[in-house]
Amino acid sequence: MKRILILLLSVLSFELMAAKPSCSSNHGGYCSYKGPVKHIYVNSYNLILIYFDTPLDLSEASVAGFTPTKGPAAALLITDQNRDFANLLYSTALAAQASKRNISIQMRGTQSGYLKVDRIWLAE
């Protein structure tokens, strides 16, 4: 019985851990993250930050051709993008955080030293 409980707890804790952000040179280069939203931040300079549960290893981004200087989050400048996309990005990340569901995001390029978000999915 004790072994079953330990096995069950190991499996459950593995499911709750986020994947480390990773990068690929495929399709022109991109980075991706799948996991919980640790923090969401918006400031008066129109910058949205979505913080990863597990930070990006900055050297990993070079695989995709990017050189971010900050690794714990992905960014989107609201005024740089379609405002509808920025609103949807923020509301999707907020919904994920509130419901404790994982998101998947892809990032291409950099913004303010962070990887720049260009798409988001909300897991079931």
pLDDT in tens, the chain (124 residues): 555 434 334 444 444 556 889 999 999 999 999 999 999 999 999 999 999 999 999 999 999 999 999 999 999 999 986 899 999 999 999 999 999 999 999 999 999 999 999 999 998 8
Angstrom distance (rounded) from CA 32 to CA 61? 10
In a domain, 11, yes or no: no
Per-residue pLDDT, 7: 39
Per-residue pLDDT, 17: 55
In a domain, 108, yes or no: yes
Q: Outline where DSSP puts E strands in 43-113.
A: 47-52, 73-77, 103-111
In a domain, 25, yes or no: yes
Angstrom distance (rounded) from CA 74 to CA 93? 12
Domain of residue 39: give its range: 18-122
Give the pTM.
Answer: 0.82
Per-residue pLDDT, 124: 83
Per-residue pLDDT, 10: 43
Report the domain count for the chain: 1
Per-residue pLDDT, 14: 41
94: domain CATH number? 2.40.50
In a domain, 1, yes or no: no
In a domain, 13, yes or no: no
Per-residue pLDDT, 40: 96
**Cβ distance 75 to 47 under 8 Å?**
yes
In a domain, 77, yes or no: yes
Per-residue pLDDT, 11: 41
Nearest to 53 by CA among 37, 31, 40, 71: 37
Q: Outline where DSSP puts E strands in 18-89.
A: 22-24, 30-35, 37-42, 47-52, 73-77
Locate 57 and state its tokens.
């290893």
